Structure 1
Amino acid sequence: MRLLMEVLIPVARGNAAVADKSMSAAINRFIDAAKPEAAFFHLKEGKRAAIFIFEEMKQDKLMAHNEAFFAALDAEIWITPTLNLAELQKHL
């Protein structure tokens, strides 16, 4: 299933994670594990944020993906199943 994961990182924890390089490590661990087809980084509500699009067929792996951001960055995470345009058009 294709998923959209949005990650929102608190400012203070984000600043510390940039300084000690744990943000880069957490993002790289997720990228290596989930192999997202897209990754975008932006600001949301004045905080660091990221959006990842990735495929995951095993629900139990979502816990591991989440934990990397929860533990390292105190992040808020939202995961939403998503379709691309071709998939949507099949059902219209």
Structure 2
Amino acid sequence: MRMLLNIRIPHEPFNSFVRDGTIGELMERILAEMKPEAAYFTSENGTRGAIFIVNLEEPSQIPKFAEPWFLSFNADCEFRVVMVADDLKKAGLEALGAKWK
């Protein structure tokens, strides 16, 4: 299932990793493990943030995607189910509209 993973990263300990020069290696390890379909880095309410599109085959994979952020950065992670346009086409909106008039 395609999921949007929204991450809010507090200043610490991220700043410490930047200062000691290890942030690049740590981020590479996390991203290599995640293999996101898409990755965007942004700000989130005045802190660092990231938005990823990931595929989960089952709910038990949630920790695989969240724990690196929890354990490395004390980050907050939020998962939301998302669709691409082709998924929406398959949703049967016309039939649902007719059923729920």
Which string of whole-angstrom CA distances, capped at 9 and with x for unpartnered residues, describes residues 26-84 of structure 1? 43233222211100000111100000001110322221221100011000000111101
Q: Which moved more, 1:77-86 or 1:18-27?
A: 18-27
Which string of whole-angstrom CA distances, capped at 9 and with x for unpartnered residues, describes residues 11-30 of structure 1? 23221132234543443233
- Greater Cα radius of gyration, structure 1 or 2: 2
Matched pairs, number: 92
| Secondary structure of 2:57 counterpart | coil
RMSD: 1.7
> TM-score, normalised to structure 2's length?
0.78
Gaps of 5+ in 1: none
Change (3 A) 1:22 1:78: farther
> TM-score, normalised to structure 1's length?
0.85
2:6/2:52 contact within 8 Å kept? yes
CA distance in 2, matches of 1:62, 1:22: 25
1:2/1:56 contact within 8 Å kept? yes
Change (3 A) 1:67 1:22: farther
Gaps of 5+ in 2: 94-101
2:12/2:73 contact within 8 Å kept? no
2:31 alignment partner in structure 1: 31
Q: Which amino acid in the other structure matches residue 72 of structure 1?
A: S
Q: Which moved more, 1:25-34 or 1:78-87?
A: 25-34
Identity of aligned residues (%): 29
